[in-house]
A and B are shown apart, each in its own frame.
Chain A
Amino acid sequence: MSFPILTVIILTPLLGSIAILFIPKERDRLVTRLSIAISFVVLILAIVLVVSYDKVAGGMQFVEEYSWIPTLDVFYRLGVDGLSVPMIFLTALLTLLCIFYSSYTIKEKVKQYFMLFLMLEMGMFGVFLSLDFILFYVFWEVGLVPMFLLIAFWGGKRRLYASIKFFLYTLTGSVGMLLAILGVYLNTGTFSIMEAASLQPFVDNWPLAVLVFWGFFIGFAIKVPIFPFHTWLPDAHTEAPTSGSVILAGVLLKLGAYGLMRIALPLFPQVFGYFSYNVPIIPILAVISIVYGALICVAQWDLKRLIAYSSVSHMGYVTLGISAAAASLAQSGNSDLVTSAIIGLNGAAMQMFTHGIITGALFFLVGVIYERAHTRELRDFGGLANRVPYYYAMMMVTGLASLGLPGLVGFWSELFVFRGTFGIIPIFACIGVIGVVFTAVYILWKIIQHMFLGEFSQKKWDQATHHAPLSDLEWWEKVTLWPLVTIMIGLGLYPTPILNFLNSAAVTLLDKLQ
């Protein structure tokens, strides 16, 4: 048997978190160092995975399968394809950065914090790697609890409200999903995601197919979040500690989109297509998310809330791309349609990755200024460009990546999404583009203009921050941000490496469905 790298990736954070359990709680430095070491090892493993995944062959690789609960046909099934490999890398990278960053900012209940963080990482890996519905659901929920606790204990003032709202929203979505899983199981007799997809459940029972599809869809939509299920997100983000926000926006939201691609689309292509093309509810919701999210951002004055709403807007692109691919299935196929669908799907998948990188960086940057000023009110700032030039530069690059400036990574994903959508459901592409305009408005006008440009007024600063000292980035903040910025620029200039992965996945997926 080959080396079970996927299991090792899942188990390493868990073992690390158990190891931390046995460290006396006074020894904070040991805890932080161990956590960093573990998440670093995990990142290495993820890189090994990236390198050793055979892009040419494509499909599911490194598959592991063991019987788990035989009486229920539940298996421990893991595997990766071109869609999940980048996600694994993203998760490992962001977790390492978060843990590194937190080791300097978290001062209370250090031991518990890092234990939870590692468990969170395990849960996220599990979702991306599971090929069994039950296992998928298990990890889906396992990831929920540490995040809930992170917000509830290390969050801001209204943390309890925010954390419970987050928890209950997600749980509501997941129990609906659970029912849908059961529906699939009872129809196909298997919990294997791949097998169920090839069996195409409910082909002969349209109403039930619709019901089960929406069960899944709402579960995922809450996590993404798609309008109108997004209301938990700004609260959760605002109250979460910086690293929590990074992971929440960077990875957890992707779980929902990943679910749409891994489960909703392959299992219910007809239904998904029907609601994307014949009755285009899903693209409508996606477009509303994009435009409405961006508009809210324009009206927001709390920096962190603004970034949070920008996530709603940006994740709308992902949904739009997926729904475009689904819509192509509802039409009689010609080769142009297929190309558009592949491009759209590629765009959506890439947007997941790039949004993870960009929003992660943005939340770090919010954290940096909040650590200093203890305020996030945009009107309190102004003219910071001269005082903290390094910070300004970082923010500039990230912001521009976010608004889709060519040469940075955000450009490619948005381009692909709109290109793909335009070829299939052009009207929604046209409306969606409005969102890009507003994105430019809030990035440039709200963030860059209000925070960095103009004259710095010491008096206003002192009043707003109660005489907090203002300093530029510390070395560890730079260390945290550089890898992300590097990726933004690197992949912006040469996106092929990641596209190779995503394309192999998208082609395989759509091949099966056509």
Chain B
Amino acid sequence: MSFPFLSIIVFSPVVGALIIAALPKEKHLAIKLVAVVSAFISMVLSIYVFFDYDQAAGGMQFEEQIRWIPSLGISYHLGTDGISLPLLLLTGIIIFCGVLISWEKDVRPKEFFAFLLILVAGVFGVFVSLDLFLLFVFYELAVLPMYLLIGGWGWPVTREYAAMKLTLYLLVGSSIALIGILAIYFEAGLGTFDIMTLSQVGFTPLFQYLFFLPIFVGFGVLAGLWPLHTWSPDGHVAAPTAVSMLHAGVLMKMGAYSALRVGIFILPIGAQKWLPWIVVLTVVNVVYGSMVAFAQKDFKYVIGYSSVSHMGYVAMGLASMTVIGISGASLQMFSHGIMTGLFFAVVGLIYRRTHTRQIPELGGLARKMPFVAITFIIGGMASMGMPGLSGFVAEFQVLAGTWQAYPAIAAISLIGIVITAAYIIKVSYKVFFGSLKSEYEGISAVSTIEKVALFIMAALLIIVGLYPSILLDVINTGVVPIMMRLR
């Protein structure tokens, strides 16, 4: 058997967490080093896998398969294709940056980093699982550490409420999806949970109509699908910085990815039946999310709702059921992941120094932290779909796909772009420009470690924006086969 890259990517954080658990809790530096090293290993390997993927051959690669629970046909089956590769890469980058951003964390770092790494293992796992059962296991594995991280290290005012709300919402969602998963398993009657095998089964249209919805909506909860999104801004806001980054940056993609991989991939006819309805929800996501973001006074809530809005594009791209739309959705997942990771990192940096997130109380911070201001503005421009940055290519494709299928929806969603521009401008101006409050004169400078994290993310937005083929070629090798099956 070839070298198990994917397993190492998934389990490197687990091993890191175990080592951290074994370390004495006073050794902060050792704990952080273990965390950063294990995240680094995952990141480097995910980059390696990304570039080593044979685009010409396409399909699933780096496969690993071990029988796990044979009586139900469950196996430990990993593999990656064009759709999951960028997400793998994204997760690697975000966790690495997230650990860097959390470098100054001194409150119970041992548990914090251990939970963070377990969470990431779950996320990696979802993206590489080719077995429905395994996917579900990793999916839920990622949710629980979230509860502890938000509850334990979050913003004291709302963390308990937000953590509980998030956990219950997500688990209700996954429970509903589980119904669909089991239904697929028994309907196929092949005694296997293998996604690739199941995707070859021609389910009856009636079955697909019935069970597409629970799967898509169940996973859609995690993707922030309106009106089931309310957990997400609360969760984002309450979470500590690194967790917000992972949460909005990666975790929400897990929902969209699973909806795609399980829902559309296995039940394409059901998807065709339902998505014209779901696409209406997604446009509400986009427009409503951006409007609410505009109305917020709390910096972090702005970003939280902007995620709702941007994830709407992901769902919209998927719902368009076109090659260009789905590949746009995949790119948007990557792009939004990096962008929102950057945003939350900036919010966290500012909050740690000013101890407020109320936009009216901030101002003029560009003078104290010009580097942060520049990276935030780059992220902001990516967010409003400025050409030359990754958000443009992604949203453009989503729009192209949606326009092909539902022109009116695409037109309405444009309102979202304009409002996004409005709130991004408003926020960046009010936070970074204007006059600096005297009490913020003495705030500490941004450390090099933090700058490295911000730089990586901002640079990626530009690189992908200028040369999107680096991701798009890979994504298309994954998307095209899915769409071929629909014909």
Which residues of chain A have a CB within 8 Å of any CB of chain B? Answer: 68-72, 134, 137-142, 145, 148, 152-153, 160, 164, 167-168, 171-172, 175-176, 178-179, 182-183, 185-186
Beyond A69-B468, A186-B403, is A179–B388 a contact (Cβ under 8 Å)? no
- By beta carbon, the residue of chain B nearest A185 is B400
- By beta carbon, the residue of chain B nearest A141 is B387
Given A72, A134, A164, A182, which contacts B425 in the complex, CB threshold below 8 Å?
A164
Given A69, A168, A178, A185, which contacts B421 in the complex, CB threshold below 8 Å?
A168
Q: Which residues of B contact A185 (CB under 8 A)?
A: 400
Number of interface residues, chain B, beta carbon within 8 A? 34
Q: How far is the CA of A140 from the CA of B421 in the complex (A)?
A: 16
Q: How far is the CA of A138 from the CA of B386 in the complex (A)?
A: 8
B472 touches A182 (CB 8 A): no
Q: How far is the CA of A148 from the CA of B469 in the complex (A)?
A: 29
B425 touches A167 (CB 8 A): yes
**Can you sample 17 A-B contacts with CB below 8 Å?**
A69-B393, A69-B469, A71-B473, A72-B393, A72-B397, A138-B387, A164-B422, A167-B425, A168-B422, A172-B418, A175-B414, A178-B399, A179-B414, A182-B399, A182-B403, A182-B410, A185-B400
8 closest A-B pairs by beta carbon, nearest first, are A138-B387, A175-B414, A71-B472, A182-B403, A141-B387, A182-B400, A71-B476, A175-B417
A179 touches B399 (CB 8 A): yes
A145 touches B386 (CB 8 A): yes
Q: Which residues of B contact A137 (CB under 8 A)?
A: 387
Q: How far is the CA of A183 from the CA of B384 in the complex (A)?
A: 21
Q: Which residues of A contact B469 (CB under 8 A)?
A: 68-71
B429 touches A160 (CB 8 A): yes
A167-B421, A167-B425, A182-B410 given; 8 more Cβ-contact pairs under 8 Å: A70-B469, A71-B472, A140-B387, A141-B386, A141-B388, A152-B429, A175-B385, A179-B414
Residues from 401 to 436 in B contacting A, C-beta threshold 8 Å: 403-404, 407, 410-411, 414, 417-418, 421-422, 425-426, 429, 433
Q: How far is the CA of A142 from the CA of B381 in the complex (A)?
A: 10
Q: Summarize B's interface: helix, strand, loop or mixed.
A: helix
B411 touches A179 (CB 8 A): yes
Most buried by B among A69, A137, A140: A69
Residues from 355 to 395 in B contacting A, C-beta threshold 8 Å: 381, 384-388, 392-393
Report the minimal beta-carbon distance from A377 to chain B, rounded to whole angstroms: 28
B399 touches A138 (CB 8 A): no
Given B327, B388, B404, B426, which contacts A138 in the complex, CB threshold below 8 Å?
B388
Which residues of chain B have a CB within 8 Å of any CB of chain A? Answer: 324, 327, 381, 384-388, 392-393, 396-397, 399-400, 403-404, 407, 410-411, 414, 417-418, 421-422, 425-426, 429, 433, 468-469, 472-473, 475-476
Q: Which residues of B contact A134 (CB under 8 A)?
A: 387, 396
Q: How far is the CA of A141 from the CA of B384 in the complex (A)?
A: 11
B400 touches A186 (CB 8 A): yes
Report the minimal beta-carbon distance from A371 to chain B, rounded to whole angstroms: 25
Q: How far is the CA of A168 from the CA of B424 in the complex (A)?
A: 11
Q: How far is the CA of A134 from the CA of B392 in the complex (A)?
A: 10
Report the minimal beta-carbon distance from A14 to chain B, rounded to whole angstroms: 11
Q: Which residues of A contact B426 (CB under 8 A)?
A: 164
Beyond A70-B469, A142-B387, A178-B399, is A186–B421 a contact (Cβ under 8 Å)? no
A138 touches B425 (CB 8 A): no
Most buried by B among A71, A182, A186: A71
- By beta carbon, the residue of chain A nearest B419 is A168
Report the minimal beta-carbon distance from B87 to chain A, rounded to whole angstroms: 18
Q: How far is the CA of A71 from the CA of B400 in the complex (A)?
A: 13
Q: How far is the CA of A111 from the CA of B433 in the complex (A)?
A: 17
Q: How far is the CA of A68 from the CA of B466 in the complex (A)?
A: 9
Report the minimal beta-carbon distance from A145 to chain B, rounded to whole angstroms: 7
Q: How far is the CA of A160 from the CA of B435 in the complex (A)?
A: 14
B414 touches A176 (CB 8 A): yes
Q: Which residues of A contact B387 (CB under 8 A)?
A: 134, 137-142
- By beta carbon, the residue of chain B nearest A139 is B387
Beyond A141-B386, A152-B429, is A175–B418 a contact (Cβ under 8 Å)? yes
Q: Which residues of B contact A72 (CB under 8 A)?
A: 324, 393, 397, 472
Report the minimal beta-carbon distance from A227 to chain B, rounded to whole angstroms: 21
Q: How far is the CA of A72 from the CA of B414 in the complex (A)?
A: 20
Report the minimal beta-carbon distance from A39 to chain B, rounded to whole angstroms: 22
- By beta carbon, the residue of chain A nearest B421 is A171
Report the minimal beta-carbon distance from A136 to chain B, rounded to whole angstroms: 10
Q: How far is the CA of A182 from the CA of B472 in the complex (A)?
A: 18
Report the minimal beta-carbon distance from B332 to chain A, rounded to whole angstroms: 14
Q: Which residues of A contact B433 (CB under 8 A)?
A: 152-153
B417 touches A179 (CB 8 A): no
Q: Which residues of A contact B396 (CB under 8 A)?
A: 134, 178, 182
Q: Which residues of A contact B421 (CB under 8 A)?
A: 167-168, 171
- By beta carbon, the residue of chain B nearest A149 is B377
Q: Which residues of B contact A186 (CB under 8 A)?
A: 400, 403-404
B472 touches A69 (CB 8 A): yes
Report the minimal beta-carbon distance from A231 to chain B, rounded to whole angstroms: 16
- By beta carbon, the residue of chain A nearest B386 is A141
Q: Which residues of B contact A153 (CB under 8 A)?
A: 433
Q: Which residues of B contact A139 (CB under 8 A)?
A: 387
Report the minimal beta-carbon distance from B329 to chain A, rounded to whole angstroms: 14
Report the minimal beta-carbon distance from B253 to chain A, rounded to whole angstroms: 20
Beyond A71-B327, A142-B387, A167-B421, is A183–B476 a contact (Cβ under 8 Å)? no
Q: How far is the CA of A138 from the CA of B381 in the complex (A)?
A: 13
Report the minimal beta-carbon distance from B392 to chain A, rounded to whole angstroms: 7
- By beta carbon, the residue of chain A nearest B470 is A69
Report the minimal beta-carbon distance from A157 to chain B, rounded to whole angstroms: 14
Q: How far is the CA of A183 from the CA of B403 in the complex (A)?
A: 7
Q: How far is the CA of A63 from the CA of B236 in the complex (A)?
A: 49
